[in-house]
Structure 1
Amino acid sequence: MTISARNQFKGTVESVQEGAVNALVHVKTAADDIITATVSLEAVKELGLAAGKEATAVVKATEVLVGIGDAKLSARNQLAGEVTKVQEGAVNAIVTIKTEGGTEIEATISLEAVKELGLAAGVKAKAIIKATAVIIAI
């Protein structure tokens, strides 16, 4: 299947933590970054998700927040790295962050946010993704 989501992180399921109705699925990317997804227990069973299974964590660029500095957040995925590119459009920009592990993540944010945060190539930043925004594909 081909999809439009910019962020598709191929990797291996590191662990599955089951709760009452949902599970946290941790996918280790080829660059050794961990992406955590919240999925239903039904999806865990249907996809056969278990440690060692190959999987892809999928995230739309519009679901990725960009942060600078330190802040305590509830979002499970906070991947530190460096901005490698800012592609400006009329209203929004696509910001590419390369994590310390080497994973490239793209975020679609407003031009106003780019300016307020001072984002440009070389700036240290975090890609922030809520676990509920991550889709697991096999």
Structure 2
Amino acid sequence: MRLSIRNQFAGTVVAVAVGEVMSTVKVRLTGGQEVTAAITAESVRDLGLAEGTSVLVLVKSTEASVATGAVDRISIRNRLTGVVSSVDHGHVMTTVKITLDGGEALTAAITRDGAEDLDLADGTQVTALVKSTEVSIALPPG
């Protein structure tokens, strides 16, 4: 299956906490950073997710925010650190490509005003922020 979601990361499930309706799944990406997904308990069962399961982590580029400097005292679980590798300004929106510390490439689509306010440029150290409710989990093909 081909998807329009730009951010697709391979990883391994390292923890699953199953609730009555919702669950959290923590995944270690191949580069070493961890991502938490909040998905339904039904999805955890249907996908057979457990520690050691190989998965794909999916994040739409519009669901990734970008921060410079320290990110303290915030409820967003997913804070992926890296360096800006390119900035492409459109009239209203900007595409920011980030090379994560583990080597993966993440794309964030943010407003041009936001990108300009942050003075984003190649080489800028950033943290990509993604709410756990905006992370999807898929099983790899095959």
Question: TM-score, normalized by length of structure 1?
Answer: 0.95
Deviation per CA, 1:71-92: give whole Å up to 9, x if none: 3211110111111111122211
Matched, 1:22 2:22: yes
Residue ranges of structure 2 left out of the alignment (5+ in a row):
none
Structure 1 equivalent of residue 35 of structure 2? 35
The AA in structure 2 aligned to 1:60 is K
Q: State the TM-score, normalizing by the size of structure 2.
A: 0.93
SS at match of 1:127: strand
Query: Does 2:91 align with 1:90?
Result: yes
The answer as to whether partners of 1:97 and 1:126 remain within 8 angstroms in 2 is no
Of 96-105 and 108-117, the range deviating more from structure 2? 96-105
Deviating more after overlay: 23-32 vs 117-126: 23-32
State the 1:94 CA deviation: 0.7
In structure 1, the partner of 2:113 is 112
CA RMSD of aligned residues (A): 1.0
- Compute the displacement of 1:20 (Å): 3.1
Question: Is 1:121 equivalent to 2:142 in the alignment?
Answer: no
State the AA in 2 paired with 1:61. S
Q: Which runs of 5+ in 1 are unaligned?
A: none
Return the letter of the residue paired with 1:65: S
For residue 53 of structure 2, what is the aligned residue in structure 1? 53
Q: Percent identity?
A: 39
- CA offsets 1:68-113 (integer angstroms, 9 cap, x no match): 1113211110111111111122211110111222221110001111
Aligned-partner Cα distance in 1 for 2:12–2:2 = 20
Q: Which whole-Å CA distance do the structure 2 matches of 1:122 and 1:24 have between them?
A: 33
